[in-house]
């Protein structure tokens, strides 16, 4: 199969091909993050309705140990992994606090009643 891309100089074609792979990976990351945040929103609603704290340091410690090993195995920078995880969990905890505040105002939280 020929395409317009076949007529480009080699480095340009290689760059286009690499960027196509990057775009595919970015799409997968966005979908995975969206799914993770949907899941953590459900955790936030469960915690709010059960009066559990937004943050669980023991669980985070376990996750960090696991992610450290996974990052090492995958060849992903450990410091980046820790920073990314801290950023992600920081967002989740802020969301959990917002859900808890909303639950206090309106115990009929729509997140809990969506099914
Ligand atoms: C999602 C939870 O809430 C918080 C967020 C976490 C996460 O994003 O993975 C982990 C621990 C908690 O501090 C949980 O307790 O499982």
What is the C-alpha to C-alpha distance for residues 104 and 106, in angstroms, rounded to an integer?
6
> In the chain, how many domains are there?
1
Q: State ipTM.
A: 0.99
Q: Are 81 and 59 in contact (CB under 8 A)?
A: no
pLDDT at 3: 59
Residue 32: name the closest of 113, 114, 88 by CA: 88
* 55 located within any domain: yes
* 2 located within any domain: no
> Is this structure's pTM higher than 0.90?
no
What is the C-alpha to C-alpha distance for residues 24 and 32, in angstroms, rounded to an integer?
12
* 114 located within any domain: no
Q: Residue 81: which domain range?
A: 8-105
Q: Whose CA is nearest to atom 5 of ligand 1?
A: 89
Say if ligand 1 is within 6 A of residue 93 CB: yes
* 23 located within any domain: yes
Say if ligand 1 is within 6 A of residue 40 CB: yes
* 112 located within any domain: no
Residue 66: name the closest of 78, 52, 54 by CA: 78
**Which phi and psi (to 5°) does residue 23 adopt?**
-65, -40
Q: Which of 57, 59, 87, 100 to mutate to test the pocket of ligand 1 (most atoms within 8 A of CB)?
A: 59
User: Where residue 81 sits, what CATH number does that domain have?
Assistant: 1.20.59.10
pLDDT tens column, 60-101: 999 999 999 999 999 999 999 999 999 999 999 999 999 999
* 13 located within any domain: yes
pLDDT at 7: 74
* 113 located within any domain: no
* 44 located within any domain: yes
Q: Are 63 and 84 in contact (CB under 8 A)?
A: no
pLDDT tens column, 23-61: 999 999 999 999 999 999 999 999 999 999 999 999 999
């Amino acid at each position: 199969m020929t395409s317009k891309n076949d007529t480009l100089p080699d480095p340009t074609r290689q760059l286009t091909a690499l960027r196509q792979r990057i775009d595919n990976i970015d799409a997968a990351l966005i979908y995975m993050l969206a799914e993770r945040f949907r899941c953590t929103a459900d955790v936030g609603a469960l915690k709010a309705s059960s009066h559990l704290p937004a943050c669980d340091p023991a669980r985070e410690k376990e996750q960090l140990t696991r992610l450290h090993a996974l990052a090492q195995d995958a060849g992903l920078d450990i410091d980046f992994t820790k920073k990314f995880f801290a950023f992600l969990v920081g967002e989740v905890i802020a969301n959990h606090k917002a859900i808890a505040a909303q639950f206090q105002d309106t115990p009929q939280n729509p997140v809990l009643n969506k099914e």
